Amino acid sequence: MANDERPKDEGGLAGKKIDKEEQGHETTAARLTVEREDGLLQIGLAGDWLAQTGIPGFGPVEKGFVAGGPSPVRAMEFRTGSLGRWDSGLMTFVLKCFDLCAQNKAEFRSQTLPSGVAALLRLSQAVPEEKDAMRGDAKPPFFERLGLLTIAGVREARSMLTFAGENVLAFFKLLRGKAQFRWVDTFLVMQECGPKALGIVALINFLIGLILAFIGATELRRFGASIYTADLVAIATVREMGCIMTGIIMCGRTGAAFAAQLGTMKVNQEIEAFQTFGFNPIEFLVLPRMLALIVMMPVLVLFADLISILGGFLVSTLMLHITPALYINRTVHTITVTSFLLGVFKGTYFGIVVALTGCLRGMQCGTNAAAVGLATTSAVVTGITVIIASDGIFAVICNALRI
Amino acid sequence: MSRIKDHIKIEIRDLTMAFGSFVVMRDINAKIHEAEIFVIMGGSGCGKSTLLRHLIGLKSPAKGDIFYDGESFWHLSEEARQQRLRSFGVLFQSGALWSSLTLTENVSLPLGEFTSLSPAEIEDLARLKLSLVGLKGFEEFYPAEISGGMCKRAGLARAMALDPDILFFDEPSAGLDPISSRNLDQLILELRDSLGATFVVVTHELNSIFAIADNSVFLDTHTRTMRAEGDPREMLKNSTDPYVREFLTRGESTASKPAETEKC
């Protein structure tokens, strides 16, 4: 062991340890003996008491306390003549003895303990235990938990509504030209969530186009209607897949980034700094992000539609032997202005959802690093849930309106 | 002290602070005069920063009110409160600089929003404020690129951007080496003398307290209220409260229970 060679000048707490080390370099196992003489409990500590090599259990001491002798134990004493090296392992043991004595109002004689142990013991007892600080482990009964959950749910819903309302107010202020915010920030966010997202949007939507075409081809071929693959890809992409996939990508990419940015600003007290200057954080931080997504989402959806149709086009022309002209013809024929606008509208709406959930979770973030992680997770989960759920609602509405 | 005018700038009246049903502090009363350096002291975690958050409008009181120039702060309309907030400067514990902006931009942002100065004038003003806190040459740096102490000084420059009437400091010397911390105290005294601003400082740094404070309030966790008020030097001389004495002497005069001061 390297530390056996340590110089002797450490003094203090380690002094005893070093003395013993010189006699035997090998670690000897810790030994415990418990003897009882009337009211006196003698505890013999021998060998090396190290946490790493293991220390004897506390059982014998407890047993010695209750058994053997009609009179109760009045004092506890230690015999440490052959005690070797020791560390916190011994300390935990001694502390248990101390607590046992305190519980049974017995005298604890620390004189024979190594001076370091006695000093550490004094230190650990210097500040009395804070009774209120102990966390209650008691689990409230079922109905109480149910009630608390309901209250939390209502509060959450209210804070979401409040946040959405504050954003609407901020938006109106913007329309009247009174909002406090910087266009510079808006352009920066636009660049971040627009052009820089093109790659991932293109990749995902290209693959979606491919997949749609393959599904269409396998099923439609059986009816000799392969040509309708173009219709399927076009209508599915423009009405649903283009906007929904872009929404989900933006939620994972930009919504998470918003939550993390605002959450970190919260931790760093930057948001409070805005408030103390009389800036409205909603106008200053959320509005630019919302505007950027409102502007960028329609463009991204349009781009996604094109790429997805391109994916379907490649599969159809290269593998299903549909002529390019025919494919394009069918596609143009299928897409109506209504479905195109529906897709773009939904995309814009999803953009607002992403900005709102991302910023809401960021602003709600607690004030530590773990809270930022939670805020980010929660932003993505809330965002995707709201996107899919509202897309379902849109589908029902469109069906009812026969759009 | 002759330079202290008699005008009461801030008055805290019967303030009770609470998080939900958990009361942090109750019945706090204090009067802070114009151009005074007022120190809020007490052990760690006793609610000093919470009191500061009430003063700067980040948290509303459970009971009681705060008056600025005799005007109730929490009963003002939203607009008027925002107006009042603009006469404050706040230095947060770690500076809380806006991390996406350079130091100059940090100082210029409030100037640009709340004054009608031209961009060139704003730039000049921002440079001036940064030079006042000894950050000449770092104007174009981002907060992440400078040290913690520099962030704090830049935060001070930003707090002074709008020439506030009242400056609030949250633990200005925390995390600073003794010399920087002393320089900051010196800076606070100089700013008070030159600007005539009122200062509210949260700290438990004894050296700072004795160097700058004209008046103070001592908050105590155990009784959950204020335990002493007045000039800390007087307090040290005359206070009969053993806990206050122990705090002000780092427990070295009594030395009976050294653990007590660490506790709250």
Q: Which residues of B touch A275 (CB under 8 A)?
A: 57-58, 85
Domain-located, residue A255: yes
Mean pLDDT of B8-36: 88
Domain-located, residue A60: yes
Take residue B68 and report the two structure tokens written for it.
């600025």
Under an 8 A CB cutoff, do B259 and A127 touch? yes
Domain-located, residue A215: yes
Q: Are residues A103 and A171 in the same domain?
A: no
Nearest to A245 by CA among A332, A193, A305: A305
Q: In the Cβ-directed half-sphere of A50, how many Cα atoms lie within 13 Å?
A: 13
Nearest to A27 by CA among A10, A52, A63: A52
pLDDT of A354 reads: 95
Q: Which among B92, B93, B113 has the least Cβ separation from residue A180?
A: B113
List residues in chain A touching B: CB distance below 8 A.
126-127, 180, 264-265, 268-270, 272-279
Domain-located, residue A149: no
Q: Which among A180, A269, A276 has the least Cβ separation from residue B85?
A: A276
Å between B226 CA and nearest CA of chain A: 21
Domain-located, residue A107: yes
Å between A88 CA and nearest CA of chain B: 22
Residue of B nearest to A278 (CA): B82
Q: Are residues A182 and A307 in the same domain?
A: yes
Q: In sequence order, which residues have a C-beta less than 8 Å from that of residue A170 and are 6 or more positions away?
A: A179, A280, A282, A283, A286, A287
Q: Are residues A236 and A115 in the same domain?
A: no
Q: Are residues A114 and A200 in the same domain?
A: no
Å between A277 CA and nearest CA of chain B: 6
Q: Are residues A33 and A179 in the same domain?
A: no
- How much is the pTM? 0.77
* pLDDT tens-digit series, residues B179-214: 888 888 888 888 888 888 899 999 888 888 898 999
Å between B255 CA and nearest CA of chain A: 13
Residue of B nearest to A133 (CA): B264
Under an 8 A CB cutoff, do A269 and B98 touch? no
Q: Are residues A385 and A284 in the same domain?
A: yes
Q: Are residues A237 and A93 in the same domain?
A: no
- Supply the mean pLDDT for chain B: 85
Q: Are residues A177 and A120 in the same domain?
A: no
pLDDT of A13 reads: 42
Task: Per residue of chain A (403 residues), give pLDDT as tens.
Answer: 344 444 444 444 444 444 444 445 577 888 888 888 878 888 888 888 888 888 888 888 888 877 766 677 888 888 888 888 888 888 888 888 888 888 888 888 888 888 888 888 888 887 777 666 556 567 788 999 999 999 999 998 999 899 999 999 999 998 998 888 888 889 999 999 989 999 999 999 999 999 999 998 888 888 888 889 999 999 999 999 999 999 999 999 999 999 999 999 999 899 999 988 888 889 999 999 999 999 999 999 999 999 999 999 999 999 888 899 999 999 999 999 999 999 999 999 999 999 999 999 999 998 888 999 999 999 999 999 999 999 999 999 999 998 7
Domain-located, residue A4: no
User: Which of A73, A106, A124 is the endpoint of a domain?
Assistant: A124
Q: Which among A127, A270, A275 has the least Cβ separation from residue B98?
A: A270
d(CA B31, CA B15): 12
Domain count, chain A: 2
Q: What proportion of chain B, given as a percentage, has pLDDT over 90?
A: 19
Q: Are residues A348 and A224 in the same domain?
A: yes
Range of the domain at A252: 167-400
Domain-located, residue A207: yes
User: Which of A124, A156, A179 is the endpoint of a domain?
Assistant: A124
Residue A46's CATH number: 3.30.750.24
Q: Are residues A393 and A252 in the same domain?
A: yes
pLDDT of B247 reads: 86
Domain-located, residue A2: no
Å between A381 CA and nearest CA of chain B: 27
pLDDT of A113 reads: 85
> Which of B23, B44, B55, B92 would you mutate first to test chain A, the one with the most A CBs within 10 A?
B92
Take residue A377 and report the two structure tokens written for it.
């997770």
Mean pLDDT of B144-158: 88
* pLDDT tens-digit series, residues A145-159: 999 999 999 998 999
* pLDDT tens-digit series, residues B74-120: 888 888 888 888 888 999 988 889 988 999 999 999 888 888 889 99
Under an 8 A CB cutoff, do A278 and B86 touch? yes
Q: Are residues A281 and A341 in the same domain?
A: yes
User: Which of A124, A158, A190 is the endpoint of a domain?
Assistant: A124
d(CA A193, CA A171): 20
